[in-house]
Structure 1
Amino acid sequence: MNTQWKQTFAIIFSGQLFSILTSSMVQFSIIWHLTEKTESAAVLMVAGLAAFLPQALLGPFIGVWLDRWNRKKTMIVADSSIAFCSLLLGAYFFLGEPSLGVVYAILMIRSTASAFHAPAFQASIPLIAPEDQLTRVAGWHQMVFSFSNVIGPALGIAVYSATSLGTVLFLDVIGALLANLMLMLVTIHQPKPETIQKSSFFLEFKLGWQEFVTVKPIVIITIATAIFGIVFMPLATLFPLMTLSHFGRGGTSASIVEAVFSIGMIVGGALLSVLASKFKDTTYMSFSLVLIGFTCVLSGVIDSKAFIGFVFLSFLMGAAAPLFNGPYMAMIQKAYEPERLGRVISFVTSITLLSSPIGLVLAGPVVDRYGVQQWFFWSGVVIVFTGLFIGYKFKSRNR
């Protein structure tokens, strides 16, 4: 039995490796395409809103259905929808340059599908892995995600430069289909839906919210995560602009930054999987945010000639990320019953994602007026204090 669950994850993660890899290629290629064509932070922020807002708005409602739907089938349908969107946008690029409106619309549809896939995947993990292994599995997931993102930007910019964005999008279709094939090879037992008298959508929605707020530490950390998301999430779309506008470098240098960030995430994920039970989950999270914050502050003051220094800071930032994401999700998976976990994860994901549009709306005009380094610096200050708050608030907790 101990070996069986590991084999199941090996199959699932091998499929996710291809899907995340091609998605990373698409994500970086689209951001670089918009950066190169417009050099506008406002355009990048609108693209970020299109990519995040549907997940944030739909998440709480999806969670209600997710605890009753088959989670494996939900992931397959969602990935198939993402593949269709990539196919459609790829066809647009082969026929001619699509308008920004078309790009934004496709990003929104992909985001809608992701709103189903991500919580379905996270809610499936406790149905496969033993509870005492959830933090370790989170480390594996971070490693798979990070490995795909190491070579994703480099491959994306290589294919984009040699052919077109349309070709990159077609490769994403293949990645999604491979992920679905691997999912079809495994069994994920569906939890028995809880019995609710006079069940209705709004009643279950209310019960999901009530379940979420019963675990106060999760509520507190989720609020801290939302603050973190407001200032940090815009950086995902600002890295290429930082490379282009501050350092005066092109797509290859931008892909190197993305790759080094992801190499750092591999190191951090590996460290988490080895040291999973050595420290409290909140200790990992506090340390992660403080380190991320310091790297952002230093990035905000770094000289335009010190590109290598920025690359090193990106590595440290990436290494710190899994030390927050993995333990945070493991805490949630341990705290709630499997039959209610889908809606809780959807709530948490939505609260986190809703912070992203707020940050994107704020970041666009600030960066266009004051420069990208200002956002790096002040976001770092906020993140450091958020990490110190978590460390102080939970210093006496056992786990």
Structure 2
Amino acid sequence: MPTYWKKAFAIIFSGQIFSILTSSMVQFSIIWHLTETTESAVVLTIAGLVAFLPQAILGPFIGVWLDRWNRKFTMIAADSTIAAFSLVLGLYYYFGEPSLGFVYLILMARSMATAFHAPAFQAAIPLIAPQEQLTRVAGWHQMVFSVSTVIGPALGIAVYSAASLGMVLFLDVVGALIASLMLLSVKINQPKAEAKQAPHFISEFKLGWQAFIKVKPIVIITIATTIFSVVFMPLAMLFPFMTLSHFERGGYSASLIEAVFSIGMILGGLLLSVAASKWQDITYICGSLVLIGLTCIGSGVISDEAFIVFAILSFLMGAAAPFFNGPYMAMIQKAYEPAMLGRVISLVTSLMLLASPIGLLLAGPIVDQYGVQVWFLWSGVASVLTGIFLLSQFKRLQVNAKPLEGLG
């Protein structure tokens, strides 16, 4: 048993490499296709909106079902559904050019399936790994994600250029199949339900909300990062637009930026997995936010001839990201009972995702009118201020040690 959890994660992450790789290829290829064919930030932000909004709206309610259902088979079903919609869109691109409305519809459907997959995966991790290893596992997860995404954009643009977007979408079906087969070979025990839990949807939803608000440090981080997400989340859609509009470069330069960002994430995840226990999780989170903010500010002021500087800043931004994502999720996994994790993780994810549509609706018109650098600059300022705010709040909480117990 002491070594089984490592073997289980080795199998799971091996499958996820293929799934995340092909999903990364699809995501970048679709964004680049829309960028290249429309040259409109508004189109990109609408695509981001339909990709985020279903997860944000459904998330709090999905958590109830996740805590009822078998988490392994939920992940397999969600992955298979995402692949099915990729197949449908791939067939349309293979035989012709679908309308923007149809592309938005498929992105929305994929988002609904992702709303089940992502929290189910995170809620399953504490059922396999010991609690003291959760931050380290988070570092591994960031590495696996980054290894897949580092070559995803480059491979996606290569397949897109050599064949078609339809071929990229067909490969996503293969990736989902491999990930599902790997998951089938791993045993994941279901958590025991609460002894007196009422089998009623509203009652179970309320239990999840009540559990969430009892842990004040998690509530503080979630509120702060939800506000921060309004300005930061649109950047994921705007990186290719920055390359195209500000630096006037093509698809391979855009994929290079995605690659160096992901290489930074790989090294950051590796460093986090090694240094997981050296400092408190909140220290990593605040440091990550400040560094991300500084790199965004730098990106917002550099000239259109400083593409190499932008690549370096993207690398540093990527290296900082695991030190926020990993410790934050580990804090949540440590703070709540496994039987409640599906609801809590879905709720937290939705609160942050609900900020994304606001940011995306603001970003499109602002970027089209004032330029993409303006958004980079002010998202950086917001990130730095969020990191400083969280650090000050947790220093105040340390006067009373109890709220921080078990949160690393």
TM-score by length of 1: 0.99
Matches within 5 A, 1:122-201: 122-196=122-196, 198-201=198-201
Question: What is aligned with 1:387?
Answer: 387
The alignment covers a number of residue pairs equal to: 399
Deviating runs (4+, > 6 A) in structure 1?
A: none
Deviation per residue, 1:289-341 (Å, 9 max, x gap): 00000000010000000000000000000000000000000000000000111
Question: What is aligned with 1:72?
Answer: 72
Code of the residue aligned with 1:256 in structure 2: it is L
How far is 1:352 from its partner?
Answer: 1.1
How far is 1:228 from its partner?
Answer: 1.9
Gaps of 5+ in 1: none
Question: What is aligned with 2:260?
Answer: 260
Deviation per residue, 1:126-161 (Å, 9 max, x gap): 000000000000000000000101000000000000
- Secondary structure in structure 2 of the residue aligned to 1:394: helix
2:44 maps to 1:44: yes
CA distance in 1, matches of 2:198, 2:125: 30
CA distance in 2, matches of 1:277, 1:364: 41
CA distance in 2, matches of 1:288, 1:385: 12
- Cα 1:174–1:377 shift into 2, 3 Å: same
- Secondary structure in structure 2 of the residue aligned to 1:61: helix
How far is 1:281 from its partner?
Answer: 0.4
How far is 1:190 from its partner?
Answer: 0.5
Deviation per residue, 1:347-389 (Å, 9 max, x gap): 0010011111111011011101100000000110011000111
CA distance in 1, matches of 2:189, 2:86: 30
CA distance in 2, matches of 1:74, 1:153: 28
RMSD over aligned CA atoms reads: 0.9
TM-score by length of 2: 0.97
Does the 8 Å contact 2:142/2:326 carry over to 1? yes
Does the 8 Å contact 2:142/2:265 carry over to 1? yes
CA distance in 1, matches of 2:202, 2:247: 51
Gaps of 5+ in 2: none
Question: What is aligned with 1:110?
Answer: 110
Code of the residue aligned with 1:71 in structure 2: it is R
Code of the residue aligned with 1:204 in structure 2: it is E
Code of the residue aligned with 1:271 in structure 2: it is L
CA distance in 1, matches of 2:125, 2:108: 26
How far is 1:197 from its partner?
Answer: 5.5
Question: What is aligned with 1:369?
Answer: 369
Code of the residue aligned with 2:188 in structure 1: it is I
Code of the residue aligned with 1:277 in structure 2: it is S
Deviation per residue, 1:4-29 (Å, 9 max, x gap): 11000000000000000000000000
CA distance in 1, matches of 2:332, 2:9: 19
CA distance in 1, matches of 2:24, 2:196: 41
Question: What is aligned with 2:84?
Answer: 84
CA distance in 2, matches of 1:319, 1:392: 24
Does the 8 Å contact 2:55/2:350 carry over to 1? yes
How far is 1:172 from its partner?
Answer: 0.3
CA distance in 2, matches of 1:79, 1:120: 11
Question: What is aligned with 2:98?
Answer: 98
CA distance in 2, matches of 1:355, 1:226: 6
How far is 1:218 from its partner?
Answer: 0.3
Percent identity, aligned pairs only, is: 74
How far is 1:394 from its partner?
Answer: 1.2
- Secondary structure in structure 1 of the residue aligned to 2:68: coil
Code of the residue aligned with 1:52 in structure 2: it is F
